[in-house]
Structures are given as structure tokens and as C-alpha cells.
Amino acid sequence: RMTATESDHIVATTEGRVRTVVINRPEKKNAITLAMYGRMVDELEHAAEDPAIRVVVITGVEGVFTAGNDLADFQEPSHDETAPAVFPFLAALPLFPKPLLAGVNGPAVGIGTTMLLHCDMVYASSEAVFSVPFARLGLTPEAGSSLLLPRVAGLQRATELLMLGEPFDAQVAREAGLVNEVVAPEKRSPRVASRAEELAALPPAAVRQTKALIRHDLIDQLKEVLEREGAVFRERLVSPEAAEAFAAFFEKRAADFSRFD
Ligand code: COA
């Protein structure tokens, strides 16, 4: 059950025909909890059905997009038994039928970067920093990134990013094809808003059908990819390697994988 505070961690507002969904948990660097995934799924479902909404924008607050999945949630034993709420979010994201824009204003870790592969246009502040540190956390690629990142960034570059998990800046993200435009920090929000308004003024059915055509083959493949990634990821979550990585993060020390084979 969500408490009043938890429900404030996702804040959505409508301006004209644009719905903006703000990830708002700055005290934990916008790390996403199960309740927050649930709220985002609700937002996507509502926006998909509501004819008054033509475009959705996802963004962060206070210099952070999101530090990715809440690592404390990852340690919950329930992940072992039941499908965590991240999976409904991952299923809903690629199927969202209207333009989905992202404005990235700081760290975008893990799903913070992989969700961008499902966005139709991505605008990054020059202060944005991306990373997909799954392997170094004892985990594996999720959100269809094993399919989409090589498609977007090329095989070698995607492999380097997904294996080493090093942070990369907005310029590198743009060169890799993950980002449409890099703008000064104070220009990010107005730039995303003006792009969203431009899209909202276009013939809506033509825009939706354009998206559907562009994504058609990927959506077909993603179903299988998400299942395969999810099966491996669930095993990895309860692995001793991941336990060491999560413990190291919360103990603010370097992880030591020397004892594993
Ligand atoms: N899950 C849970 N808590 C998180 C979190 C996460 N993914 N990311 C950050 N936090 C918490 C920290 O534990 C800390 O909490 P505390 O104040 O109670 O100690 C707080 O948010 C601030 O984080 P901190 O690391 O001190 O901020 P920073 O500015 O030095 O670094 C990041 C920001 C995003 C680079 C860093 O927090 C980070 O690497 N986070 C983990 C990202 C990650 O591995 N995500 C999972 C990907 S699959």
C-alpha cells in the first residue's frame, strides 16, 4: 500500500495536451521503488486512453533523472517468488502508443538509461550522465536493452557500455544515438516543452501511426527479449555476486568479486 509520501514520488501534471510525469524522490536520487513503477504504469495507461493527452514527457527533479531501480527493493526476498512491479512497467513502456519524450537532467542509471530506448525523443542537459552498470552489480541487461542498445549504439559500443557499465556524458550519448539533442541545463526544460507542444499540434492519428510503424518489428521482438532478459535477471537478483554488489553500495565500499568463479 502506498503512503501519502510515496505517492508524491511520482508527480504528474497536464499542460494543454501534454502530460508531464516527474520522478520526484531527490533524497534518494530518484531511485525508483515498486510503488513508483506502479504509478508510472497508471500514468501511461491513463495517458494512452485519454484523448485529451497527445504527448507524455518523463523527467526528473533537482539535477537527477533517476539512480535507477531502488537497490533496497532489489534486496527484497519477494523478488524471488513473484514478478516485481518493474515487469509491468517494462511491458507497458514499449506499447505506449503516443509520443513519449524524455528530458534528462543529471544521472540516469540503469533503467534511467534503458527506459530512454523506449522514448521517441530524448533531450539531455549537458550535465546528464548515463550508465548501464548491470554486470558490475552482478546483474544483466533489462528493459529490452540487450536488443535495443546494440541496435541504437552498434554492437561493440553497446557491449562496452553494458559490460563495463562506466558512466558516459551527454555528448557521448548523443554520438551513440541515445539522445537527440544536448542543451544547456537551463534550456532543457523549455526545449522539451516546446518539442512536446509541436508534437501535440500535429495530426494525432498520423503521429501515432508513424510511431507504430517505426516500432512495429521491435515490439514483436521485444516480447521474447523481455521474457528472456527477465528470466536471467530474476536469477541474478538472488545471486551471491549481486548480494556482494548491493552490500558494497550500502556499505559505501568497493565490491570484491575475487572469490567468485
Ligand atoms: N537505490 C536506493 N538508494 C539509492 C540509490 C538506489 N539506486 N541511488 C542512490 N541512493 C541513495 C543513497 O543510498 C543515498 O542514501 P543515504 O543518503 O540514505 O545514504 C542517497 O540516495 C544519495 O546517494 P549518493 O550515492 O550519496 O549520491 P551521489 O550524488 O554521490 O551519487 C549516484 C549519485 C546516482 C551516482 C549514486 O547514488 C549511485 O551510483 N547510485 C546507485 C545507482 C545504481 O546502481 N542503480 C541500480 C542500477 S541497476
How much is the average pLDDT of 80-92?
A: 74
Looking from the CA of residue 112, the nearest atom of ligand 1 is 47
Residue 68 Cα to ligand 1 midpoint, Å, equals 9
Question: CA-CA distance, 149 to 178, in Å (whole number)?
Answer: 8
Whose alpha carbon is nearest atom 16 of ligand 1? 28
Pick from 43-52, 69-78, 179-188, 192-201: least confident: 69-78
Choose the residue to mutate in 9, 29, 70 for probing ligand 1, maximizing ligand atoms within 8 Å of C-beta: 29
Grid cell at residue 105: 537532467
Residue 189 and residue 167: Cα distance in Å, rounded?
23
Higher pLDDT, 5 or 201: 201
Residue nearest ligand 1's atom 42 by CA: 67
Which residue's entry shows cell 515490439? 219
Ligand 1 centroid – CA 28 distance (Å): 6
1 has pLDDT over 50: no
pLDDT of residue 74: 86
Is residue 137 in contact with ligand 1, taking CB distance under 6 Å? yes
Residue 86 pLDDT class (50, 70, 90 cuts): confident
Q: Which atom of ligand 1 is nearest to the CA of 139?
A: 48
Q: For residue 60, what pLDDT band results from cuts at 50, 70 and 90?
A: very high
Q: 42 C-alpha vs ligand 1 centroid, how far in Å?
A: 25
Which residue type is seen at 46? H
Per-residue pLDDT tens for 152-173? 999 999 999 999 999 999 999 9
**Predicted confidence band of residue 80 (pLDDT cuts 50, 70, 90):** very low
Q: In percent, how much of the chain has pLDDT > 70?
A: 94
- Report, as an integer, the average pLDDT of 114-118: 98
Ligand 1 within 6 A of CB of 120: no
Long-range contacts of 81-88 (CB under 8 A, 24+ apart): 83/230, 84/34, 85/34, 85/35, 85/37, 85/38, 85/41, 86/32, 86/34, 86/37, 86/111, 86/142, 87/226, 87/230, 88/37, 88/38, 88/41
Rounded to an integer, the average pLDDT of 199-216 is: 98
